Amino acid sequence: MKAQEHASLKSLNSFGVSATAGLLLTIETEEDVLSLPVFNPRKDLVLGGGSNILFVNDVPGTVYLNRITGRNIVKEHDGCAQIEVGAGENWHQLVCWTLDQGLHGLENLSLIPGLAGAAPIQNIGAYGVELSSVLETVTAWDWKNSVWVILNKGECRFGYRDSLFKSTKTHRYLITSIRLRLSRQFEPQLDYAALRDALSTTGVDQADAKQVSDTVIRIRQQKLPDPAINGNAGSFFKNPVISMDKAETLRMRFPNLPTWPAGTTQAKLPAAWMIEHCGWKGFQENGAAVSSQHALVLINQSQASGRHILDLSAKIAHSVEQEFGVILDIEPKIYRGSDLEIDSFD
Ligand code: FAD
Ligand code: NAP
């Protein structure tokens, strides 16, 4: 296990904002986990690839970098295979590996940054597919009781960009591996018009899994700002889900506002549309900016601090609420420092 005192976190978060950790510990094996100091939820933090976090303050205690690797087919039956994946595996490389193995289910989730261990945290999703559609179990170290636990899908309480790990039990579990169930048979998920349209331009009639993955990669590369150039954490806000009635009322005022059903009684609204409507696209302040490529993505344009980015997000959320009466929830984890963090495991 590698240890570094007073470590910079700047290259370890995709926003590229400055922050430090009192101690940086790199976990490489499950044995390393057994020798870890007691996790202090007030001072410590677990970090994967840093692509869904905004540091507004330094981490006074220890940052645990989870780098446990390994990906194996552990079971195969009835045209399905179960794979066990170490939390430190790069997500996109995992997607490519599954395609090479002739396993299907992850193609719509191509090119999502970050590591496999963080995928359950917000139940990653893109183009109509969520991790929960393929996840079997999550193996984690329970910091509270100092035991290994295996949580099944139901216990993970997955929701829209949400899970047990993101809500009430934020600090309790160190995820060390995930088990996915993938199919030998390819069933394309082409509900999203952007994906269907892009596929149709390739001239292919019936795309295979690799073609779907390549198309997702192409759209994402065209549409999303590259964190290596302009630091960002992808979508800064979740798409709000509101009652169908409220959505209908909004549609009367804003006939061009797209909506999608979310279950039988609710509707999902595109946060990007509302932010753009309020005139924020391309806006810059104190080095923080709203991407001119995609209004849902806040970027570190030039040496912005986490606080500058968070302040800009508050102004955007306020104006959307004023205009639409809809509250935007922030998607990435905001690390505000020990004083404001939850101080127990529950
Ligand atoms: P980190 O940012 O390191 O951590 C995120 C949270 O998870 C933190 O609270 C951290 O404490 C916790 N955590 C991380 N690893 C563990 C672990 N092993 N055990 C316990 N807790 C842990 N997300 C989507 O859902 N869909 C997308 O399409 C998408 N597109 C993106 C595009 C871009 C350009 C970017 C920059 C981000 C995008 N994201 C997307 C967000 C992000 O990539 C995902 O949420 C990803 O799963 C985060 O992984 P990470 O390893 O970087 O997590
Ligand atoms: P898009 O295709 O321009 O669509 C805009 C929004 O409309 C999306 O956010 C999507 O919601 C919603 N949408 C479109 N078609 C839909 C359908 N048939 N049913 C339900 N909802 C629909 O989106 P985009 O911004 O380019 O992103 C493409 C996909 O990648 C989306 O799924 C998005 O979530 C994902 N993505 C996520 C992040 C992140 O950081 N979380 C970053 C980039 C891209 P959903 O977002 O709910 O899917």
Asked if 172 is an active-site residue, the reply is no
Tell how far the Cα of 14 is from the centroid of ligand 1, in angstroms.
10
Whether the Cβ atoms of residue 61 and residue 20 lie closer than 8 Å to each other: no
Q: Average pLDDT for residues 285-300, to the nearest whole number? A: 97
321 pLDDT more than 50: yes
Asked if 35 is an active-site residue, the reply is no
Cα 282 to Cα 266: distance, rounded to the nearest angstrom: 31
The angle formed by the CA atoms of residues 193, 123 and 142, to the nearest 5 degrees, is 175
Q: Which listed ligand is nearest to 53 at the C-alpha? A: 1
48 lines ligand 1 (CB under 6 A): yes
337 pLDDT more than 90: no
Q: State the pLDDT confidence band at 273, using cuts at 50, 70 and 90.
A: very high
235 lines ligand 2 (CB under 6 A): yes
The angle formed by the CA atoms of residues 204, 205 and 211, to the nearest 5 degrees, is 45
339 pLDDT more than 70: no
110, 133, 163, 235: the catalytic one is 235
Tell how far the Cα of 136 is from the centroid of ligand 2, in angstroms.
24
pLDDT at residue 340, rounded to an integer:
47
127 lines ligand 2 (CB under 6 A): yes
Residue 76 dihedral angles phi and psi, to the nearest 5°? -145, 120
190 lines ligand 2 (CB under 6 A): no
Q: 19-76 pLDDT, tens per residue?
A: 999 999 999 999 999 999 889 988 999 999 999 999 999 999 999 999 999 999 999 9
Percent of the chain scoring above 90 in pLDDT: 90
Provide the angle, in degrees to the nearest 10, between the axes of the packed helices 209-223 and 91-100.
160
117 lines ligand 1 (CB under 6 A): yes
67, 133, 161, 179: the catalytic one is 161
Asked if 276 is an active-site residue, the reply is no
287 pLDDT more than 90: yes
346 pLDDT more than 70: no
223 lines ligand 2 (CB under 6 A): yes
pLDDT at residue 108, rounded to an integer:
98
Which residue among 110, 260, 297, 299 is best mutated to probe the pocket of ligand 2, counting the most ligand atoms within 8 A of its Cβ? Answer: 260
31 lines ligand 2 (CB under 6 A): no
Q: 108-162 pLDDT, tens per residue?
A: 999 999 999 999 999 999 999 999 999 999 999 999 899 999 999 999 999 999 9
Tell how far the Cα of 78 is from the centroid of ligand 1, in angstroms.
32
pLDDT at residue 338, rounded to an integer:
61
Tell how far the Cα of 327 is from the centroid of ligand 1, in angstroms.
22
191 lines ligand 2 (CB under 6 A): yes
Which ligand 1 atom is nearest residue 175's CA? 19
Which ligand 1 atom is nearest residue 335's CA? 9
pLDDT at residue 203, rounded to an integer:
82
Whether the Cβ atoms of residue 239 and residue 268 lie closer than 8 Å to each other: yes
Q: 206-261 pLDDT, tens per residue?
A: 899 999 999 999 999 999 999 999 999 999 999 999 999 999 999 999 999 999 99
Q: State the pLDDT confidence band at 320, using cuts at 50, 70 and 90.
A: very high
94 pLDDT more than 80: yes
